[in-house]
Amino acid sequence: MSRANTLDRRAVVRSLLARRGGLLLVTGLGAPAWDATAAGDSPLTFPLWGAMGSAAMIGLGLALAQPERAVLVLTGDGEMLMGLGSLATIGVQRPANLALAVLDNERYGETGMQETHTAHGVDLAAIAAGCGFAQSETIRDMAGIEALGARLDARQGPLFAQVKIAADTPPLALPPRDGALLKNRFRAALLGPQADLA
């Protein structure tokens, strides 16, 4: 059975984004997006709102299109489990500028805290390592989070972190929900005012 996980998800995300600079952030649906918003909304954050299972693939496309920029995908264990095959594709493409951080509460939090496979021993970090990620680890304390935050900009990935967090439900902090607005502000912030907003 799983050990007691004590990391606070809001503190984890606040720490990871404290010095985000020009980091491009893709968030999976639900709570990871609320965590990122609670840490401070940014035009360089692209919350998916839905599309469960696709966060890692959106991050991969972004990383390949913008090889000079660090890209972080922040998502949940349930979301990651739904798109597990994407780890194999990332392992083959090996973009050095892509990092994945999975907030693993061992639950489908948003839909009522049903246990996911990680509550029963499925080791996402081992899967990522087996897929060929350059770095893969399980993090259980804030020292590990701070070390991860310091490496986000190093572009020595692809990097995978399975972050074992407590199964808490902090207050909602919703990002904008208009998809066109999210896309246009992301493109303008990334590509400059000359970006074609059509």
78 lines the binding site for Mg ion (CB under 5 A): yes
Q: What is the contact mask toward ligand TPP in residues 90 to 129, using x (rule: CB under 6 A)? A: -------------x-x-xxxxx----x-------------
* Bridge partner residues of 101 (DSSP): 74, 161
Nearer to ligand TPP, 16 or 97 (CB): 16
Is residue 151 classed as helix, strand or coil in its secondary structure? Answer: helix
170 lines the binding site for ligand TPP (CB under 6 A): no
47 lines the binding site for ligand TPP (CB under 6 A): no
Report yes or no: 38 and 10 within 8 Å, Cβ to Cβ: yes
Stretch that binds ligand TPP, among 19-27, 39-47, 73-81, 131-139 (CB under 6 A): 73-81
Nearer to Mg ion, 107 or 164 (CB): 107
Which of 28, 32, 76, 175 forms a contact with Mg ion (CB under 5 A)?
Answer: 76
Within the chain, where are the H helices?
A: 9-17, 31-38, 55-65, 77-82, 85-93, 124-131, 142-151, 179-191
Q: Which two tokens stand for residue 148?
A: 């991860």
105 lines the binding site for Mg ion (CB under 5 A): yes
Amino acid, single-letter form, for residue 124? L
59 lines the binding site for ligand TPP (CB under 6 A): no
Cα–Cα distance measured from residue 106 to residue 126, given in angstroms and rounded to the nearest whole number: 16
Please report how many Cα atoms fall inside a 13 Å half-sphere around the Cα of residue 133, on the Cβ side. Answer: 26
Residues that bind ligand TPP (CB under 6 A): 28-32, 50, 52, 76-79, 103, 105, 107-111, 116
